[in-house]
Amino acid sequence: MIIARSAQELQDALQLKTGTIGFVPTMGALHIGHRSLIEAARSGNDYVVVSIFVNPTQFLPGEDLSKYPRREEADFKICELSGVDVLFYPDVNAMYGEDEVRICAPDVRGFILEGSSRPGHFDGVLTVVMKLLNMVRPARVYFGKKDAQQLALITQMCHNFFMNIEIIPMETVRESDGLALSSRNVYLNSAERQEALKLSAALKCATKMLMQGNTKSAEIKEAMEAILEPLDVEYVAIVNRAFESIDEVVTGNTIVLVAARVGTTRLIDNVWM
């Protein structure tokens, strides 16, 4: 595995490769969710590039940028054992200059839910993803459905900017008790980890209600809120794939999303129906 730390090193590592590149952008502290993306990239392409970069422009002031988990040695090992060909591991100076053009999230989908809870977050995400895609130039890029709104906005950006890259959405990988894997789960103490299960429990309840024939968003949301109640809930939302709020769940075109704080840790989860 080649470790590239700058655009030049990345270019040097990639220039001899002929064939398709599958790319997995991450912020590190890799877990089995990330590994599922790497494995899909491995099996669908000739080469796999993973990036690990804790992107400062997507963190708001007061968020967890400085304490975001960093696991260099373990991450390198996971990438190596997963058959990654090139690990792109830049520092901030390799990615950003002093004064730069930024990509702005579109109004309609960028400023609701995560965009309204974390104003400016998606501008940072889209900017760094644009940079990374231009540097790696993959045939396919792999993103988790867990970050559903991010996935939708990146898909829109690639469409709007005529970028010829196939975006592969990947299912959310969970612990056996339902908790969605996240690098931020390490912040949870054992009592909080139990509380955090309320997010996946609320989503399971939504799925069960739908399976029982209840398609009313208001009723599903009410039942979910009752499960989530002790937590500091930021939003419970039921939207279609275009992220428009819907009164009735339509199978095949619905995402149910939740964001809540457990202690000081902000968690998100969702289910696609």
Catalytic residues: 34
| Cα separations in angstroms, 257 against 92, 181, 198, 246 | 32, 16, 13, 12
- Does residue 27 touch ligand AMP according to CB under 6 A? yes
| Residues contacting ligand AMP: total by CB under 6 A | 17
Q: Closer CB to ligand AMP, residue 37 or residue 130? A: 37
Binding region for ligand AMP (CB under 6 A) out of 3-11, 130-138, 177-185, 249-257: 177-185
The SS3 call for residue 36 is: helix
- Does residue 35 touch ligand AMP according to CB under 6 A? no
Residue 85: Cβ within 10 Å count: 20
Q: Closer CB to ligand AMP, residue 50 or residue 236? A: 50
Q: What is the pairing mode between strands 86-88 and 2-4?
A: parallel
Helix axes 72-81, 32-44, angle to 10 degrees: 30
- Does residue 33 touch ligand AMP according to CB under 6 A? yes
8 A C-beta contact, residue 28 and residue 20: no
- Does residue 181 touch ligand AMP according to CB under 6 A? yes
Answer for which of 82, 182, 217, 270 binds ligand AMP (CB under 6 A) is: 182
C-alpha dihedral sign at 157, 32, 196, 225: positive
Answer for which of 23, 89, 143, 187 binds ligand AMP (CB under 6 A) is: 143
- Does residue 144 touch ligand AMP according to CB under 6 A? yes
C-alpha dihedral sign at 241, 43, 21, 127: positive
> Applying CB under 6 A, which residues contact ligand AMP?
26-27, 33-34, 36-37, 143-144, 146-147, 170, 172-173, 180-183
